Amino acid sequence: MTNAELQQLVEKISTQSFHKPFLHKAYFNPRLRTTGGRYMLRSHDIDINRKYLDEHGMEELIGIIKHELCHYHLHIEGKGYKHGDQDFKRLLQKVGGPRHCASLPSEKQRKRVVLYSCSKCGWKFERKRKINTSKYVCGRCSGKLRLEKEMVFEKR
């Protein structure tokens, strides 16, 4: 599917499901990694992640387009366009759009554990992210922290 075909599909879904025209641009954005699509507030354009079409098919793509069109139409009308707004939730349910898109099988989900210890009292603790050991000290004795090891686990 090309960007021109995507544009036509978005315009078609907008008129069929929302009974309103889509007057801006829709295109595939190869830089999107963690989301299926994105509505741009300033330009009113919609970016779509092509991987969702490739890995989940047309049905998932249509759901993502409906979700982004909910943001689009509500923002243009000056109504609540954010995920937590009641206007958004009602419109999303009315048109049958998904609240969240499915995860991509190609993006392996990983769990990261970073293990630290105190050089003074020996206390060990875990973090999800690395911390600056020259900036932080032990919470128990104010001793110097050192990185023990960093582990990454595959979640599947």
pLDDT tens digit sequence for 104-148: 877 767 788 999 999 999 999 999 999 999 999 999 999 999 999
> Quick one: pLDDT at residue 155?
66
Sketch the domain layout of the chain as residue ranges: 3-95, 109-155
Q: Evaluate if residue 156 carries a pLDDT over 60.
A: no
| Helix/strand/coil percentages in the chain, nearest 5 | 35, 25, 45
Residues 135, 138, 143, 148: is their CA dihedral positive or negative? negative
Distances (CA, A) of 129 to 68, 87, 144: 31, 36, 18
Q: Which CATH class is domain 3-95?
A: alpha beta
Annotated active-site residue 60? The verdict is no
Give per-residue pLDDT as tens, 21-80: 999 999 999 998 889 999 999 999 999 999 999 999 999 999 999 999 999 999 999 999
How many other C-beta atoms can be found within 10 angstroms of the C-beta atom of residue 141? 13
Within 13 Å and on the Cβ side, how many CA atoms surround 65?
26
Q: Which two tokens stand for residue 86?
A: 């009641």
pTM (predicted TM-score): 0.71
Q: Evaluate if residue 2 carries a pLDDT over 80.
A: yes
Cβ 45 vs Cβ 66: under 8 Å: no
Cβ 128 vs Cβ 154: under 8 Å: no
Q: Of residues 55, 59, 68, 77, which has the active-site annotation?
A: 68
